[in-house]
Amino acid sequence: MSSPFPFEVLLVFGFLSIMLLGGAALRANVPLFQRFLIPACLIGGLLGLVLVSTGLAPAPVAALEAFAYHLFNISFISVGLTPGVRNRPGGRGAMLRGPLWMALVEGVTFPLQAVIGGVGVIVFGWFGVNLFSTFGFFAPLGFTEGPGQALSIGKVWEGFGFANAATIGLAFAAVGFFFAFFVGVPLVSWGMRRGLAAGAGRLDNDVLKGIVDRHRARESAGQLTMHSGNVDTLAFHLALVGLVYMLTYAAVYGLGKILPGDAAKILWGFFFFFGMGIGLLIRRLMEWLGIGHLLDEGIQRRLTGWSVDYMILATVAAIQVPVVWQYFVPISVMCLLTGVLTTGVVVFLGRRLDGFNLERTVAIYGTVTGTVSTGLLLLRIADPEFETPVAMEIGLMNVIVTPIIAGSMVLVNAPVWWHWSVGLTSLVFAAIGLACLVLIRLLKFWGPRRI
């Protein structure tokens, strides 16, 4: 029987919802997932990957990728709309030293990962394995930037002739998550056993199981800013996200009409960046008009969290196993080298910092192997009550590191945009990483080993 209405989009949403519920149930009941704090969205994504790959769930991969792409954009738009740390008590007095150190460490690891990938492409070429020029640059996109950026840029590269780029990018991102949890969690535990955590304490059952106990006081998700007799507060915040999405689409589409064809293609891969900027402008405009109080930080953060959870679900489920198997050796070699060397560099620099070594080290490690949310999750093991300033520092770090990451995100496109060689692009990345390393030394973040 045919339906008079299209159901495809909501069927994909329903499938992902079932996977998320399954992931939450497994997290609550399987000790292994609790031990490594694997989030429900990643567990559910792996469930979806198995079901889609075996044909038990006929969810179209293209629909999953589209779902993930748009949710990724929404997550950044929501970040732009979220009232900043300056509105929080004590936000203005946040220390600069910790955020600057973490930003410079990311300024070292992103180029390092890019050089590993670029050199990998060159070396595999020597052995007759010809990879697309930007293949190796999925290492920093997948590890440091996460599945959303890997998918977004991958879809753009497919337009330049890089077949199945999105799936390959998602595979890199998935391996990054495994390093974040299966290396990051033992790293935190090692530091805690040595008494290195300033706010150390045992994780309670709620954090381990991922479900708040029925007898425990519950944290508020946000405050109402609209009268329910007029419009629901959640609907109002979603409407603002929709407004920014339309403005961003108009901006990217309009710029694409002006710029050359190759540059116009790449713009769609940076939709998230434009969206965050326009979201920030809309928030500033609302504050200037005296209506900034209509935006609630808690509600907006819930929207960001919702979009990130479903984005990770969709991206992992969309990985095409046959494609990954075709490139299994180069993906495995590059990911292993990226994970091991990233771990070594972060730990080396973290052991030479002069304050909150463990907390800052694990926070940035989770960020450069997964996402900012992963960094916060690892931080919570070492600092369950967020007694240290590191959680606040992560937010400020993302502002400080923006010029480095924005420049690097443009540079990964150099081989397809400006027709640079992989070697030249890798050399520029090496120069950026070296410059950040020199700054770490000059600012005295790199002292004698302390732990």
pLDDT tens digits along 7-60: 888 999 999 999 999 999 999 999 998 888 888 998 999 999 999 998 888 888
pLDDT tens digits along 265-320: 778 888 888 998 999 999 999 999 999 999 999 999 899 889 988 988 998 898 88
Q: Using an 8 Å Cβ cutoff, are 112 and 435 in contact?
A: no
Rounded to whole angstroms, the Cα distance separating 299 from 277 reads 20
Mean pLDDT comparison of 54-63, 212-221, 372-381, highest-scoring range? 54-63
pLDDT band at 87 (very low <50, low <70, confident <90, very high): very low
Rounded to whole angstroms, the Cα distance separating 409 from 111 reads 10
Q: Which of 4-8, 27-31, 252-256 has the lowest mean pLDDT?
A: 4-8
What would the two tokens of residue 329 be?
């050796």
Question: What pLDDT sits at residue 85?
Answer: 45
Question: What pLDDT sits at residue 94?
Answer: 43
- Indicate the pTM of the whole model: 0.83
b/e sequence 363-396, b meaning 16+ C-beta within 10 Å = bbbbbbbbbbbbbbbbbbbbbbeeebbbbbbbbb
Rounded to whole angstroms, the Cα distance separating 70 from 67 reads 6
Q: How much of the chain, in percent, has pLDDT values that exceed 70?
A: 94
pLDDT band at 203 (very low <50, low <70, confident <90, very high): low
| String of DSSP letters for 55-74 | TSS---HHHHHHHHHHHHHH
Check residues 429 and 152 and name the one with the higher pLDDT: 429
